[in-house]
């Protein structure tokens, strides 16, 4: 076999759905077949994630790579037949003995001397051959749900020939090339197969991911590799007898693909090996139980390499109580209210130390306010950048964008866990820290401090554009959340709704599920709305205008699009609307606030328009304006309501929070000037002209929300 290394490539366009980008990527040629590889992290201690059965590719390990790459060098590659690798046309090219050559070629191309080998299911035979035949390259091995004939197969899967034209195509009979040739047959097979890979409730995301990856290989290539003979029982026994490295077998006890006794059978056949059993888990346990699996794998890797070093987050014990505050980076509103609550907390309990685990753009607010940002914050995977990348024009399918962020959320929870474990905090506060809340409920044994969860909305809402599928998925996600709270009600020591009961939408979580308001009233306390501190003590409007240098005779319109980076489209239309409105309004000045993630130089600004980037305490500008044009974000709109300023809101299309939760709250406060996302510049100009002519009349916004929230949270702290 000849192995020719292709040039290592620098990473080009980053995939913002990934929690970490590869530091290098490349292609290695193995006897004419290209094998694509990636390297993450740095160092000499390498974990090699082998591709599982080629029905999926290396993204199968997405919930592991970012966490492991913080401590180790990680190598992954796409197996022949899928992903970026080649697709041989002969079944002889897919046998385990040939695939050993692919692994060795990747190890050589990435200059990896030895590794901890991690294999899943169909790669077990290749992994055994590699470890037994090349003991110098494999220091230890983790084998998950090994697909080797060392215990009887699952009876339901036996007796369905792949190429039998007379099949019934029921159940496992769908594994048939003639069924795959039928319209929709291949997709039905994939959904059936991966439904059995993930028998756990609420596994829609894992199933959808794998179905998409299964379509990448296609039915023709899949049939070819299924024709390839696997490692026999006799071969497997011989290989086990030749193994010299430590081995950990991992098995889900609800596995419907590999017999649940398979891991135990191999453990018994290999003296000195270890066995980890995952109760209640199916075949894809690394994807369905990523936190538990990652902690186990990291501990095993540390033992393999003989290293265990703290992550550098440890703090000395102090007499003062300490809190870790995690603030959502999707926009800037969470940061402002959290700063207000933090300041009230310190007033109630002098000496309280608060550290923030946060990322851009939240950290800009925190730095300006003098808050202490935890150094591990720089290691957080980019949530805001991912959300921005999911937008187009004035549209953001936020539920789908959040759903596609699962890899990022796993990585960020693992970082939170490490920070919290070593930081010795008395209290954790999570403001819409969905990953913290979700994975704490999935792994309640990891809770080591009092925990407060805050949010200003409850319940995913389907948007009409998402159709029946989105309605089904949002209901499933809501049902999972309800089930988590029912199973482990003690995970949240306090759940605070930032608002009042009347702010909750009059909807259900889904068919057959509770009403959102009644459920929220049962499970949350209410703080009332929390205004930023700069909004609670505003000077008279005339004085504010003078601060900004605005002449009394000027009419000032402020256009703000928030901090997430979604808003360029509205800014461009606002510039055109200014040109139209300036012919009807004398001395018109329009101030555009682009936020921290939009480049102001990308716009041509006419006379009378001023374009600003990040503005600290932008609510003061809004309060001084004659009218405003904004998206439908809660913080910006509620600041305008509190200041009594007329404004036009343009919620992002397909943004369930802006179009559902926020719109409901604004109607309650008396705001009615909401127009469609696709409004033309003329329509925007007309709406602003009407707003300038009609005084605003809103329900008063309470100003004690931060104090009320802080009082409730302070009860969780130990006495000073």
Residue 329 banded pLDDT, cuts 50, 70, 90? confident
Strands 247-252 and 274-278: parallel
Better-predicted residue by pLDDT, 39 or 536: 39
The two tokens of residue 242 are 């030749």
Q: What pLDDT score does 314 carry?
A: 60
CA distance 633 to 456: 11
Among 281, 305, 329, identify where a domain stops. Answer: 305
Check whether 2 has a pLDDT greater than 60.
no
Among 265, 280, 305, identify where a domain stops. Answer: 305
Q: What pLDDT score does 3 carry?
A: 36
The predicted model gives 241-262 an average pLDDT of 97
The two tokens of residue 400 are 């789908």
The predicted model gives 122-135 an average pLDDT of 97
For the chain, give the mean pLDDT.
94
Q: What pLDDT score does 7 carry?
A: 43
For the ranges 164-168, 606-610, 618-622, the lowest mean pLDDT is seen at 164-168
The predicted model gives 30-51 an average pLDDT of 97
Number of domains within the chain? 2
CATH code for position 301: 3.40.50.1820
Among 262, 286, 305, identify where a domain stops. Answer: 305
The pLDDT tens digits of the residues spanning 58-88 come to 999 999 999 999 999 999 999 999 999 999 9
The pLDDT tens digits of the residues spanning 475-492 come to 999 999 999 999 999 999
Q: What pLDDT score does 535 carry?
A: 82
CA distance 491 to 447: 7
CA distance 86 to 577: 52
For residue 88, is it within any domain?
Answer: yes
Q: What pLDDT score does 6 carry?
A: 42
Domain boundaries, position 62: 3-12+24-153+228-305
Q: What pLDDT score does 533 carry?
A: 87
For residue 557, is it within any domain?
Answer: yes
For residue 404, is it within any domain?
Answer: no
The predicted model gives 457-470 an average pLDDT of 97
Check whether 5 has a pLDDT greater than 50.
no
For residue 337, is it within any domain?
Answer: no
Helix and strand totals (H; E) in the chain: 27, 21
Tell me the CB-side half-sphere exposure of residue 257, using CA atoms within 13 A.
24
Return all residues near 567 (Cβ < 8 A) that are at least 6 apart: 561, 594, 595, 598, 631
For the chain, how many residues are written? 720
Return all residues near 331 (Cβ < 8 A) that are at least 6 apart: 384, 562, 563, 564, 633, 635
How does DSSP classify residue 515?
B
CATH code for position 602: 3.40.50.2000
For residue 511, is it within any domain?
Answer: no
For residue 345, is it within any domain?
Answer: no
Percent of all residues in the chain with a pLDDT value above 90, rounded to a whole number: 87
The predicted model gives 633-639 an average pLDDT of 94
For residue 267, is it within any domain?
Answer: yes
Check whether 4 has a pLDDT greater than 50.
no
Check whether 564 has a pLDDT greater than 70.
no
Q: What pLDDT score does 300 carry?
A: 97
Q: What pLDDT score does 47 carry?
A: 98
The pLDDT tens digits of the residues spanning 227-239 come to 999 999 999 999 9
Return all residues near 613 (Cβ < 8 A) that are at least 6 apart: 594, 595, 596, 598, 600
Closest to 398 (Cα-Cα) out of 468, 450, 342, 473: 473
Q: What pLDDT score does 311 carry?
A: 65
Spatial strand order of the sheet with 247-252 comes to 3-5, 24-30, 33-40, 73-77, 46-49, 115-120, 138-144, 247-252, 274-278
Task: Give the CA distances from residue 323 to residues 354, 355, 452, 493, 503, in Å, rounded to whole numbers and listed in that order.
Answer: 5, 6, 11, 14, 29
The pLDDT tens digits of the residues spanning 398-421 come to 999 999 999 999 999 999 999 999
CA distance 574 to 627: 13
For residue 410, is it within any domain?
Answer: no
Do residues 267 and 232 lie in contact, with contact meaning Cβ atoms separated by under 8 Å? no
Closest to 462 (Cα-Cα) out of 453, 475, 446: 475
For the ranges 42-56, 318-332, 344-358, the lowest mean pLDDT is seen at 318-332
The pLDDT tens digits of the residues spanning 280-293 come to 999 999 999 999 99
């Amino acid at each position: 076999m000849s192995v020719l290394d292709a040039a290592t490539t620098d990473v080009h366009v980053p995939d913002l759905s990934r929690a970490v980008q590869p530091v290098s990527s490349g292609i290695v040629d193995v006897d004419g077949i290209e094998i694509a590889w990636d390297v993450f992290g740095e160092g000499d201690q390498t974990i090699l994630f082998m591709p599982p059965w080629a029905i999926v590719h290396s993204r199968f390990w997405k919930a592991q790579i970012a966490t492991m790459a913080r401590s180790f060098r990680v190598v992954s590659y796409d197996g022949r037949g899928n992903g970026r690798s080649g697709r041989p046309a002969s079944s002889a090219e897919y046998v385990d003995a040939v695939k050993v050559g692919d692994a060795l070629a990747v190890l050589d191309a990435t200059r990896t001397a030895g590794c901890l080998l991690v294999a899943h299911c169909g790669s077990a035979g290749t992994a055994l051959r590699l470890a037994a035949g090349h003991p110098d390259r494999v220091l230890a091995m983790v084998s998950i749900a090994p697909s080797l004939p060392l215990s009887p197969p699952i009876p339901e899967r036996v007796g369905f020939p792949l190429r039998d034209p007379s099949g019934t195509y029921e159940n496992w009979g769908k594994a048939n090339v003639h069924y795959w040739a039928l319209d929709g047959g291949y997709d039905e097979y994939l959904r059936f197969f991966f439904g059995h890979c993930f028998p756990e409730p609420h596994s829609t995301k894992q199933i959808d991911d794998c179905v998409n990856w299964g379509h990448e290989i296609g039915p023709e290539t899949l049939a070819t590799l299924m024709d390839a003979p696997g490692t026999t029982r006799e071969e497997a026994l011989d290989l086990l007898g030749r193994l010299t490295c430590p081995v950990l077998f991992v098995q889900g006890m609800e596995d419907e693909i590999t017999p649940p006794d398979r891991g135990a059978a191999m453990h018994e056949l290999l003296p000195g090996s270890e066995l980890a059993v995952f109760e209640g888990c199916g075949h894809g346990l690394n994807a369905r139980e990523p936190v538990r699996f990652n902690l186990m794998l990291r501990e095993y890797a540390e033992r393999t390499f003989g290293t265990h070093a703290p992550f550098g987050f440890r703090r000395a014990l102090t007499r003062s109580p300490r809190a870790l505050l995690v603030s959502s980076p999707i926009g800037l509103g969470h940061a402002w209210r959290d700063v207000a609550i933090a300041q009230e907390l310190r007033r109630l309990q002098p000496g309280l130390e608060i550290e923030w685990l946060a990322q851009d753009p939240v950290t800009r607010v925190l730095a300006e306010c003098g808050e202490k940002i935890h150094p591990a914050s720089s290691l957080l995977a980019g949530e805001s950048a991912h959300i921005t990348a999911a937008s187009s024009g004035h549209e953001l399918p936020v539920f789908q964008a959040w759903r596609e962020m699962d890899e990022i959320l796993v990585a960020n929870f693992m970082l939170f866990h490490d920070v919290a474990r070593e930081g010795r905090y008395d209290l954790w506060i999570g403001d819409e820290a969905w990953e913290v809340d979700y994975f704490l409920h999935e792994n309640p044994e990891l809770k080591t401090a009092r925990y407060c969860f805050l949010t200003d909305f409850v319940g995913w809402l389907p948007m009409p554009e998402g159709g029946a599928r989105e309605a089904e998925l949002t209901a499933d996600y809501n049902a999972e959340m309800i089930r988590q709270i029912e199973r482990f009600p003690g995970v949240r020591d306090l759940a605070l709704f930032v608002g009042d009961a009347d702010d909750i939408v009059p909807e259900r979580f889904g068919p057959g599920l509770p009403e959102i308001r009644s459920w929220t009233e049962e499970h949350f306390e209410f703080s009332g709305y929390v205004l930023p501190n700069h909004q609670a003590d505003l000077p008279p409007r005339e004085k504010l205008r003078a601060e900004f240098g605005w002449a009394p005779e000027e009419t000032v319109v402020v256009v703000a699009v928030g901090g997430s980076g979604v808003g360029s489209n509205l800014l461009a239309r606002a510039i055109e609307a200014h040109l139209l409105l300036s012919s009807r309004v004398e001395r018109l000045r329009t101030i555009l606030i682009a936020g921290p993630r939009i480049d102001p130089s990308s716009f041509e600004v006419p006379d009378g328009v001023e374009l600003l980037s990040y503005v600290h305490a932008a609510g003061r500008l809004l309060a001084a304006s004659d009218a405003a044009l904004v998206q439908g974000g809660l913080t910006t709109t509620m600041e305008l309501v509190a200041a009594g300023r007329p404004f036009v809101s343009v919620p992002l299309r397909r943004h369930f929070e802006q179009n559902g939760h926020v719109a409901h709250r604004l109607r309650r406060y008396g705001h009615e000037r909401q127009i469609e996302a696709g409004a033309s510049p003329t329509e925007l100009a007309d709406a602003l002209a009407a707003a300038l002519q009609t005084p605003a009349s809103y329900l008063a916004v309470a100003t004690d929300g931060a104090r009320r929230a802080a009082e409730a949270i302070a009860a969780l702290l130990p006495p000073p």
